[in-house]
């Protein structure tokens, strides 16, 4: 075997070795990257179990939110606006003066001006205008809710409704509901461990689903049915009831 053939064979073997070495280095780097991605975690994921818990707190509402509105119609837009503005402003004035409702608790939720049409002789004809205004009022003295509904009738408002009772600051009750939910989870986890013989480790994940429930809304009359003198002396009885604050958790425990 001459020298040239030996050199060619040596070169060929060297190339093969370099290729294999390169492949080995690529695999090593990839495995190292995977290892760093799981620092602080077990290389093999531990089996887990999910335990759920729910906590409920019943609270008496301390505020009511109610909608008051007026729809005014007239052949003249200016007259419809004037009628609507005067009646609504008088109502708002009574809210502040006679019922001590603060301005920050009154919010205009809707104000619309629309033309009114009628079909005459097969074509659309303008017959007047409609002005619609609504305000949302937060009522802090719940004993006055019925009287305010009667005041709306006396003020000739013709839209009263959307009454709901709520809690002005529910965070305290929500914290208590969360504590009850976690207490229930701990009891369930302990019972599960005792019954199954498994040992639970650290918490892997935690998910919360909290909401604030409420009682059905009371039935309210339409102020348009009781206007004038009759509405001045009739105040509906409104039951406040209670609201329920609920906290729900799903906790995933590691099984050791």
Q: Label the pairing between strands 106-120 and 48-59.
A: unpaired
Closest CA to 75 of 131, 159, 119: 131
Long-range contacts of residues 99-108, Cβ cutoff 8 Å, at least 24 apart: 99/141, 99/144, 99/147, 99/148, 99/151, 100/141, 101/137, 101/138, 101/139, 101/140, 105/137, 105/138, 105/139, 105/140, 106/135, 106/136, 106/137, 106/138, 107/135, 107/136, 107/137, 108/133, 108/134, 108/135
Question: CA–CA separation, 246 vs 250, rounded Å?
Answer: 14
- Phi and psi of 140, rounded to 5°? -90, -25
Tokens read off for 206: 């935690």
- CB half-sphere exposure, 22, CA atoms < 13 A: 6
Blockwise average pLDDT, block size 10, the chain, 256 residues:
65 74 73 57 72 91 92 94 94 92 92 91 89 94 88 90 87 91 93 88 85 44 40 59 88 90
Tokens read off for 76: 């003249």
Can you give the pLDDT at residue 170? Answer: 87
What DSSP line would sit under 169-235, residue for residue?
-THHHHHHHHHHHHHHHHHHHHHHHHHH---EEEEEEEEE--EEE-PPPPP---GGGS-THHHHH--
pLDDT in tens, 63-83: 999 999 999 999 999 999 999
Query: According to the CATH classification, is domain 62-168 in 3.50.50.60?
Result: no
């Amino acid at each position: 075997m001459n020298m040239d053939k030996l050199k060619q064979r040596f070169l060929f073997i060297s190339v093969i070795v370099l290729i294999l070495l390169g492949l080995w280095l690529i695999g090593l780097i990839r495995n190292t990257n995977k290892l760093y991605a799981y620092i602080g975690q077990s290389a093999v994921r531990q089996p887990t179990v999910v335990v759920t818990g729910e906590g409920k707190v019943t609270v008496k509402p301390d505020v009511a939110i109610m909608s008051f509105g007026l729809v005014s119609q007239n052949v003249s837009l200016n007259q419809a606006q004037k009628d609507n503005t005067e009646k609504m402003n008088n109502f708002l004035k009574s809210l502040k003066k006679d019922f001590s409702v603060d301005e920050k608790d009154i919010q205009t939720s809707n104000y619309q001006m629309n033309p009114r049409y009628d079909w005459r002789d097969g074509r659309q004809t303008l017959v007047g205008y409609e002005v619609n205004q609504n305000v949302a009022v937060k009522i802090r003295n719940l004993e006055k809710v019925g009287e305010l509904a009667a005041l709306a009738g006396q003020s000739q408002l013709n839209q009263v409704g959307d009454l709901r009772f709520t809690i002005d600051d529910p965070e305290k009750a929500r914290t208590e509901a969360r504590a009850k939910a976690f207490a229930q989870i701990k009891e369930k986890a302990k019972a599960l461990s005792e019954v199954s013989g498994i040992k639970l480790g650290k918490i892997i994940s935690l998910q919360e689903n909290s909401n604030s429930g409420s009682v059905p809304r009371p039935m309210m009359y339409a102020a348009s049915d009781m206007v004038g003198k009759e509405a001045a002396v009739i105040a509906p009885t409104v039951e406040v009831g209670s609201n329920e604050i609920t906290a729900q958790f799903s906790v995933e425990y590691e099984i050791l």
